Structure 1
């Protein structure tokens, strides 16, 4: 693309007074250039000092940025009204999260209407429901405690709970006794990826031994076993280089048990969807003396597994982009002779669950999920779902005739159904009250565009019914396109306030995601990553040709790994968008060596070990391709100080360099939440505030100077 300076009119002075008057007050970051030599290529980094988190200017600069940005938003006409609408929508809604059934009980997460955080609940067999754990009652000098994840034991007598300081995800494992609601005297800090043993007498977990918040945190992680009620030290289950296990120090090696199988699996994971798998006798594995037999390597492109007695099922994408299901023996596995379990057509297979008499298979059917039951005879039957939407999870045990199915849609919040395998019927468990407001006045329109290489890329527009779409319509366009993640319909009560003000939310299913299988993912991964942001650009241009917004009204947003998409798009086409939002973004990939999430890098072409891997990662690095003198769109950069997934320095360095490239002539707002992380564990009010600012920013860039009312224009 041309590198000449792009000239664009500075509209914000006329359109939004708070932005214009605050420009001169924006704090400027000091510059201390560091130059690295990557296999003969010199790369200069002006803000390397931000990475350690220990520079004396770091916290004062962040605090000044936060005050500045907060002041800009506080001065916006109508921001308070918009927040009130967002908070009303989220506040009156009771939401349900993860759900599991075990021992005749249903365990589930609930955030009740008006409350800030999630509680863990249990519904007894007789229908009585009670609070099992309210993390707000826990007293901890480390700060607010939140539930990161949990797992009920196969008997339903205990629940393993991972708790952490809000936003950090540095979990401590605790065990709840369900009958009494009391914690057992177990507290294992810095642990994750837990699995109950067959009979619930103990659990496996990964113990992280490095320093939290540093690249060493995950390195050398250990798979251990804890037995309930025993004073003996926890057993080391799988050791790299011993017992047949081959894995790098930075890879995860959790050990998984299944209540209906005598086989244990050791699964080697890193930043890839693909996994390597080993098996061992479960009882032997619990002694720490197992010999692990290889089942599948990364070259077999296996992405999911399920156990049912001596049957081991795997999803492999080696021979089929959408995946195929393989069945082999769990005690003597052999992929070369594995039976192929076929589904009609060529659907994209997302996950499998072993159930009574066969499998449940979750697929992607265009813009929504599909659900199939495969019998022991291999016959596949598609099950009728309550609505077109996304099946977010399946949970059950192979001997049981019932499975929990979680679903959501554009206008349907997460709902937990019980699937009766005897008749194929799904019944709403009614874990939450009915939706307290009407969503009948909104709609989602699905379409697609032929991008520059002729590929058809789908997108969805979410809006008010009857809305008049034109070049003046505020559009918030989102794309992700990483890790093979399929962006399917998901309910968001907060966005309704944006739609009520005439906004349109657009979601582009760009390459790099998994909507159409492995090939779709690999077409926007590592060396092909530019495809991801170019697909987003082409979708934006098509929307503008269709008079759905324009370069004066469309804001592009990228969240987390979507930050690479966002940064690449505005580096390549800075004049195309009215605004840009980097939301907890991964903005400086070549500096992955400075953050905790060190292992999660293969998606981007790393680790950097030679000139080729450096070039792959450098070419997709948004921070390193910011060009001085370029008029980038006004940009909102969102981050949390506790973020363990995309370290705060990504956002801070990106905001500083983007502002410097424009000499402060165009707003770059760094929005910091000092009590949040990557979004996980944030309170309802924290999420209300950040999404209000995202919607307010989008409306402002579209020229809406006052959005106190819900009028469309």
Structure 2
């Protein structure tokens, strides 16, 4: 790689649109790097001239000035796009419908989340019966004027007296947990801080909470420092956090994290240890009675390595149920359910590995709800605790279902179902009859009969058969003229399933085709599919995505001049790698909160967890693979790249914004074409969770307007009022 000069020019490209003058392309803004940074990776010298953009925007004035300058150019460009106002107006209209979460029962009452339409945050409601008038329990919209403080996570005590709830500020992964007395509806004054990647669990007698927390970060490092040394504490109601009892730690393994479960019968406390994103766990348990002074007994290590997935489902006395990918002889990549008797050590299979991947299991009453994916669409089977098949849950088509929670004494459960063109619908499921009763269906200003959703299969570079969903207005002409948005993710064993999205509905209403490819690296077909897109095989993911684009062009859906790509987080990496490898294939790109520097990602916040999927530059062989596709490092001077709108947020502490900052700076420096290369940096927003509705609508209006401009879209007559 050619070393870069100390002062690296950024060409902020913004051709004039409308009446207001846009910045002249000849205007060059220069921002110096602090030093000419060169790192030695196993004998390979790698330049990193924009290292200074890794610094926290809240702590470094130079970074703050760079962000301000970039936003001025970006928003100056976007506001002049003629279609933008109409697109934002229509998005606002479409978004303005009642949105309901799946109801759940706690302590004899029903709870659900609801958004009236344009509220920035969902509100938690309570009702005595399904037919009674709901009452507001918690409204996070009252917590801040700009809507950037969110309710994030709940934990109800088993007796229904208390609710612990998480508070998320400005999209950060850090949570502060508080407790409400549900009878008085007042806070108890209990507060738990420095909680991340953890939901508290009530102890057996509902007098306190088990939770995992990290040490308080040093000043100025809260949003960038690595997360290490999580420990499990017991917080007793009415006491300060400083007096919480340490109940579990592994100081020799600072990289381990812990989640807590108290069995529904109150007999056992289970700690599941993890150390990355792969579902490979150690499992510890203790009896909560029978020890010294009648208290908990010592901890027992039940699963003593990080080789397989063991996800606790439920228990019947000393018999623990686990979802696992460990087979009787080797792996079970499509997963099964087994029991382990912690008293006798006896193991038994309850649900055998099937032809489709088993993605989750829940217990309701004395039934197991087993959720499968068949070619990325949901199937749910109901079985007894002994594994005997009872029935399938019938859905109204190909789509995604979620829910199916409950207790041992439940007679009902609830779920939601949706697809690309079908808005979310909430159902009550009667356990005795197997009948589903529609409770609510979202009333969106969209006629699903006008749209077609199909699933196709195409061949990747190595011949692998890959599925893809394609959605569009009926009557589409396959003449290559259609503006098309291809979306992908391909990582961390996460499947992409067909679900309703207002923003995608708006895109199709504008006349666009939406395509979603189920790439390797995801969880659509089990662990083998996931592993085929990890570490030294990560290039398969990019090959799958590029092959999806080529399929859409070859089949006449679109052409190179009408094709855009989109992805967020790991999907942002996907988009970044795709435009560096095939800049000729796409007209526009929308990489969001992406992992763009594959050599240093593991040195910030949660980045170290991602080594399971990506590998690490500390390993010579893995470094070679990472360096070969790292978006930041593979941009070449003098190349004409697609029009690119990078999006990130200043308070993202999952994928720190330095990734996007550095990629934008280097892309603007290398780009030789006339297409705009911009970065949009949101304020008081994080990785995505908890973002207020107002900011979401504004962001999508900017992205869809950018695509409409670059792909030459003509909006339907009267669009957006």
By the TM > 0.5 criterion, same fold? yes
Is structure 2 residue 253 aligned with structure 1 residue 248?
yes
CA distance in 2, matches of 1:556, 1:645: 22
1:275 to 253, 260, 281: 281
Does the CA contact (< 8 Å) of 2:568 and 2:594 recur in 1? yes
1:417 to 416, 423, 427: 427
1:551 to 530, 554, 560: 560
Does the CA contact (< 8 Å) of 2:312 and 2:320 recur in 1? no
The aligned counterpart of 1:578 is 587
Does the CA contact (< 8 Å) of 2:491 and 2:613 recur in 1? no
Q: Counterpart of 2:558 in 1: which secondary structure?
A: coil
The aligned counterpart of 1:104 is 108
Is structure 2 residue 444 aligned with structure 1 residue 438?
no
Is structure 2 residue 95 aligned with structure 1 residue 90?
yes
Distance 1:375 1:39, change over 3 A: same
Does the CA contact (< 8 Å) of 1:467 and 1:502 recur in 2? no
Does the CA contact (< 8 Å) of 2:171 and 2:687 recur in 1? yes
The aligned counterpart of 1:194 is 200
Is structure 2 residue 525 aligned with structure 1 residue 516?
yes
- Displacement after TM superposition at 1:26 (Å): 6.7
Does the CA contact (< 8 Å) of 2:148 and 2:685 recur in 1? no
Q: Counterpart of 2:511 in 1: which secondary structure?
A: coil
The aligned counterpart of 2:247 is 237
CA distance in 1, matches of 2:123, 2:138: 6
The aligned counterpart of 1:48 is 51
1:143-292 pair list within 5 angstroms: 144-191=148-195, 192-211=198-217, 213-214=222-223, 216=225, 218-229=227-238, 233-240=243-250, 248-260=253-265, 262-269=267-274, 270-283=276-289, 290-292=298-300
1:638-677 pair list within 5 angstroms: 638-662=647-671, 665-677=674-686
Q: Counterpart of 1:542 in 2: which secondary structure?
A: helix
Distance 1:154 1:385, change over 3 A: farther
- Displacement after TM superposition at 1:217 (Å): 5.1
- Displacement after TM superposition at 1:299 (Å): 1.1
Q: Deviations over 1:578-631 (max 9, x none)?
A: 011111111113212442113322234434443234334333421111122221
Distance 1:562 1:18, change over 3 A: farther
The aligned counterpart of 2:5 is none
Q: Deviations over 1:555-598 (max 9, x none)?
A: 11121111221122111111000011111111113212442113
Q: Name the stretch that deviates more: 75-84 or 119-128.
A: 119-128
Q: Counterpart of 2:152 in 1: which secondary structure?
A: strand
CA distance in 2, matches of 1:95, 1:490: 14
CA distance in 2, matches of 1:17, 1:584: 32
Is structure 2 residue 333 aligned with structure 1 residue 328?
no
CA RMSD of aligned residues (A): 2.8
1:406-555 pair list within 5 angstroms: 406-430=416-440, 434-435=443-444, 437-555=446-564
1:115 to 112, 119, 129: 119
Q: Counterpart of 2:199 in 1: which secondary structure?
A: strand
CA distance in 2, matches of 1:39, 1:17: 54
Is structure 2 residue 299 aligned with structure 1 residue 299?
no
Does the CA contact (< 8 Å) of 2:310 and 2:323 recur in 1? yes
Distance 1:66 1:215, change over 3 A: closer
Q: Name the stretch that deviates more: 432-441 or 628-637.
A: 432-441
CA distance in 1, matches of 2:297, 2:245: 10
Q: Deviations over 1:61-80 (max 9, x none)?
A: 10111111111110001110
- Displacement after TM superposition at 1:251 (Å): 2.3
- Displacement after TM superposition at 1:98 (Å): 5.7
- Displacement after TM superposition at 1:15 (Å): 9.8
Q: Counterpart of 2:101 in 1: which secondary structure?
A: strand
Q: Counterpart of 1:574 in 2: which secondary structure?
A: coil
CA distance in 2, matches of 1:708, 1:78: 11
CA distance in 1, matches of 2:239, 2:718: 61
The aligned counterpart of 1:384 is 394
The aligned counterpart of 1:3 is none
CA distance in 2, matches of 1:186, 1:227: 9
- Displacement after TM superposition at 1:210 (Å): 4.1
Does the CA contact (< 8 Å) of 1:588 and 1:650 recur in 2? yes
Distance 1:355 1:662, change over 3 A: same
- Displacement after TM superposition at 1:666 (Å): 3.7
Q: Name the stretch that deviates more: 420-429 or 265-274.
A: 420-429
The aligned counterpart of 2:609 is 600
Does the CA contact (< 8 Å) of 1:296 and 1:302 recur in 2? no
CA distance in 2, matches of 1:213, 1:408: 38
1:334-413 pair list within 5 angstroms: 337-342=347-352, 345-380=354-389, 381-413=391-423
Q: Deviations over 1:74-115 (max 9, x none)?
A: 000111011100111012x11123643211212222111232
Q: Name the stretch that deviates more: 14-23 or 562-571.
A: 14-23
CA distance in 2, matches of 1:710, 1:453: 46
Distance 1:329 1:289, change over 3 A: closer
The aligned counterpart of 2:323 is 315
Q: Counterpart of 2:605 in 1: which secondary structure?
A: coil
Does the CA contact (< 8 Å) of 2:490 and 2:541 recur in 1? yes
The aligned counterpart of 1:35 is 38
CA distance in 1, matches of 2:483, 2:19: 19
Q: Name the stretch that deviates more: 348-357 or 493-502.
A: 493-502
Q: Name the stretch that deviates more: 411-420 or 256-265.
A: 411-420
Q: Counterpart of 1:58 in 2: which secondary structure?
A: helix
Q: Counterpart of 2:661 in 1: which secondary structure?
A: helix
Does the CA contact (< 8 Å) of 2:259 and 2:271 recur in 1? yes
Does the CA contact (< 8 Å) of 1:481 and 1:524 recur in 2? yes
CA distance in 1, matches of 2:49, 2:296: 49
Does the CA contact (< 8 Å) of 2:121 and 2:147 recur in 1? no
The aligned counterpart of 2:74 is 69
CA distance in 1, matches of 2:703, 2:471: 16
CA distance in 1, matches of 2:480, 2:23: 28
Unaligned runs of 5+ in 1: 1-10, 242-246
Distance 1:570 1:58, change over 3 A: same
- Displacement after TM superposition at 1:477 (Å): 0.4
- Displacement after TM superposition at 1:20 (Å): 8.0
